[in-house]
Structure 1
Amino acid sequence: MRIAVVTDGVTAGELPAAVTGLGHDVREYDAAGKRAGERLATAWADGDWAPEVIYAHGWAAGVASLAAGVAPLVQAFHGIRATAEGVPDDRRAYERLLCRVADRLVAGSTDEAGELLRLGVPRARITVIPPGVDCDLFTPVGESQPRSRPRVLATGDGPWLADLVRAMRMVPDAECVILGGPPTLAGLAERCHVADRIVLRRAVPRAELPGWYRSADVAVCAPWRDPSGSAPIEAMACGVPVVGTATGLVRDAVIDGLTGELVPAHDPRALGVALRALLGDDVRRFTAATAALDRARQVYPWWRVADRTLVVCLEACGLPVRVEADSMI
């Protein structure tokens, strides 16, 4: 099958290579900028290759793909904002349009699938396919960043990191390393009297992330709403339990009480209690780490994500599906 993966300036990760590995002809196109639809239409009309199906990664990529109008469309939003506040009206309108006309829609989490349902998308047109993780890169075996005491690790940015800093008041024997967080957290750490145990570092290259995950006893991913990114499953693939909020990918990936703990959003106390409990119980933490590693390897490797994506592409084209893919959650 000829599959065009169209992005809007944000990489589709390892999905194109993984689908290619299943024996299909996949080509990537960047739809960033003006007149992207015209550029796609010209490329597919004038060249010797035209897609049988288009996989649009992001709403702007979907709009460009619609403008090209040459093949069935599989739309993956990776964070739909049509019902959120403070979103430009044109994006809201385009997302709603794509929900109506795309042949199939891919939701990155069950939360996002719920958003699509509330927008009126029939359940039969929605498939939940989370991001994948490179299980060859993110492993529990390999070099690890040095440390001198128990470590909590968080990556990325977002206002929820302030909750983590406040939560560390309840975990007096551990340090917290935050990769990529805002510098303003330093002032909050001073006010919370935990500055000596909060380590703020710039975001590190992806190849260095496994060493940081391996150095941690617990990873934290506690956003207030459905997040983007693969931090929870990357940590799990490194054999690290996750404490997070019951939203988006975190809710789907973390089995509460088995691979980690789920806590309410906006609740630093609950976050601190969960961290203290895991850090204070070696047996429980080891059991959670083992279960997290097993779940990451069984559910989230890229080949499984690619297999499920291929099924959706076949369905969009009205072609028979030979083998029903396993559940992704």
Structure 2
Amino acid sequence: MRIALVSEHANPLAVLGGADAGGQNVHVGALAAELAARGHDVTVYSRWTATGVPVRVVTDEGYAVEHVPVGPPEEVPKDDLLQYMPAFARYLEMRWSERPVDIVHAHFWMSGVASTRAARRVDLPVVQTFHALGTVKRRQQGDHDTSPPERLGLERGLCRRVDHVIATCTDEVEELAAMGLPARRATVVPCGVDTDLFRPQEVPPKPHRTLLSIGRLVERKGVGNAIEALAMLPGVELRVAGGPAPSGLHDDPEVRRLREVATRSGVSERVHFLGGVGRERVPELMNEADLVVAVPWYEPFGIVPVEAMACGRPVVGSAVGGLLDTVLPGVTGELVPPRRPDVIALAVRRLLEDPARRVAYGQAGRDRAVALYRWSRVAEATEEVYERIVAAATRKAVAP
């Protein structure tokens, strides 16, 4: 198949760790690579963010990235990109007229807005993955939500217009149903993990029991709650990876806020901010930790718990979003209510006091990651959706 992946702000070639560069970039790149390995012709369309870069780049993994020249050639916060989607759609329509594709897979709601507009004019089926829903973000963040006010209505419109939705977790399907999407038009295909890169490793013993929190440093990720929990865990250290490079930590507003939380909690000497780290170092950090703490207030999917499980690390996670699917309480980790440092501390303490249970959780987590979340399985399930939708579109086109 000739497959177009549209990811307007999340370029798989981007450097990770910025405000808008994270899990979606990894997801799109890994999916594109795996689909290409399965023999498909795959192009990712993403907005340009600099001058002097080639319009079309063929990656070593066999897929192409096409930089769409709309808007200023610089980084723009994703919440400010809606104004450029009409021009993005015109570009896609032109390219798909010149170089036809079989199916379009839009990643994020703004990609869906551009993709459906372009695909309608050239008669192409569109599959949508939201990665995050505005209804959930608005519910959780309230007045702090910086999404464009049109987002909720446009997402509901996409539920009517796209041919199918690939959701990343069952919780998302329930949210989509409330937005009017029939269950038959949604399929759950989770995000994936590189189980060769993320795997158990032998690491030297540490003098202190260590927790790891890793990911983008934004308030909703719950790192502050993990720091507050540390006050109830004497002798335990917390490593926080993410955010700017180490040299920029002092100037980062969220790092400053988290350091204030640590000072108020009396644990500043036991919280270590590592700054942004290269993806290749993440498995090492996970393996060095006794367990990984991922306690967001809400999370559309949450790749960190799956990566930790692939590394054989037990997880203490929030009972929200995708974590309800990925973390099995009493098997691969424990789930706790969000924003509850006391419950986080209790779950961590029980695991730290039970080495045999940590080993069992780690082994079960590794088995679960390999069985359900390796990229080859995710790509195969995605391919099955594509085949169904393309076949349905073909039948519709030839029907009398």
Normalized against structure 1, the TM-score is what? 0.92
SS at match of 1:64: helix
In the alignment, does 2:111 pair up with 1:61?
yes
Instruction: Tell me what 2:37 maps to.
Output: 21
1:227 and 1:221 mapped to 2: Cα distance?
A: 13
Aligned: 1:107 with 2:159: no
After TM superposition, the structure 1 stretch with the greater mean CA deviation from structure 2, 155-164 or 303-312, is 155-164
Judged with a 3 Å threshold, the aligned counterparts in structure 2 of structure 1 residues 291 and 152 are, in CA distance, closer, same or farther, namely: same
Of the three residues 131, 139, 147, the one matched with 1:78 is: 131
Q: Deviation per CA, 1:144-169, whole angstroms, max 9, x where unpaired? A: 58843111000122331111011112
Q: Determine which of 274, 291, 300 is the counterpart of 2:373.
A: 300
Shift of 1:141: 2.4
CA 1:145 to 1:38, structure 2 compared with 1: closer, same or farther past 3 Å?
farther
Q: Whole-Å Cα distance in 2 between the matches of residues 268 and 64 of structure 1? A: 42
Partner of 1:284: 357
Unaligned runs of 5+ in 1: 321-329
The one-letter code matched in structure 2 to 1:2 is: R
For 1:168, the aligned partner's letter is: L
Distance in 2 between residues matched to 1:18 and 1:247, nearest whole Å: 28
**Residue 227 (structure 2) aligns with:** 165
Displacement after TM superposition at 1:61 (Å): 1.0
- 2:210 aligns with 151
| Contact in 1 for aligned 2:233/2:345 (Cα 8 Å) | yes
* Equivalent residues of 1:155, 1:203 under 8 A apart: no
CA distance in 2, matches of 1:165, 1:153: 11
Deviations 1:288-329 (A, max 9, x none): 111111111111000111011111111222359xxxxxxxxx
% identical aligned pairs: 38
| Residue aligned with 2:133, SS | coil
- 1:273-302 deviations in Å (ceiling 9; x for gaps): 000000110111111111111111111000
**Residue of structure 2 equivalent to 1:189:** 262
SS in 2 for 1:13: helix
Q: How does 1:157-236 map to 2 (within 5 A)?
A: 157-159=217-219, 160-180=222-242, 182-183=254-255, 184-227=257-300, 229-236=302-309
Pick closer, same or farther for the CA change 1:26–1:235 going to 2, 3 Å.
same
Amino acid across the alignment from 2:212: L
Shift of residue 173 of structure 1?
A: 2.2
Contact 1:131 1:305 in 2 (8 A): yes
Q: Is the 8 A contact 1:111 1:226 kept in 2?
A: no
Q: Deviations over 1:109-140 (max 9, x none)?
A: 11111110110100000111111001111111
Residue pair 2:309, 2:315 contacting (<8 A) in 1 also: yes
SS of 1:247 mapped into structure 2 = coil
Q: Distance in 2 between matches of 1:126 and 1:314?
A: 15
Residue 246 of structure 1 is matched in structure 2 by 319
More deviation, 178-187/303-312: 178-187
How far apart are 1:242 and its partner, in Å? 0.5
Give the SS at the match of 1:210. helix
Structure 2: how far apart are the matches of 1:232 and 1:51? 35
Equivalent residue for 2:198, pick from 138, 158, 162: 138
Contact 2:193 2:375 in 1 (8 A): yes
Greater percentage in helix: 2
Instruction: Note if contact 2:131-2:300 (Cα within 8 Å) is conserved in structure 1.
Output: no
Displacement of 1:23 in angstroms is 2.1
Residues 201, 284 of structure 2: 8 Å contact kept: no
Answer whether contact 1:82 1:96 (CA < 8 A) is retained: no
> What residue is the counterpart of 1:127 in the other structure?
187
Determine whether 1:40 maps to 2:96: no
Is the counterpart of residue 263 in structure 1 residue 336 in structure 2?
yes
1:257 counterpart letter in structure 2: G
1:228 positional shift:
5.1
CA RMSD of aligned residues (A): 1.8
Unpaired segments ≥5 residues, structure 2: 11-24, 48-67, 71-83, 244-253, 394-400
Is contact 1:145-1:212 (8 Å) kept? no
Other-structure match for 1:272:
345
1:91 partnered with 2:151: yes
- Cα separation, partners in 2 of 1:94 and 1:145, compared to 1, 3 Å: farther
In structure 2, how many angstroms separate the alpha carbons of the residues matched to 1:94 and 1:124?
21
- After superposing the two structures, state which structure 1 stretch, 220-229 or 65-74, moved more: 220-229
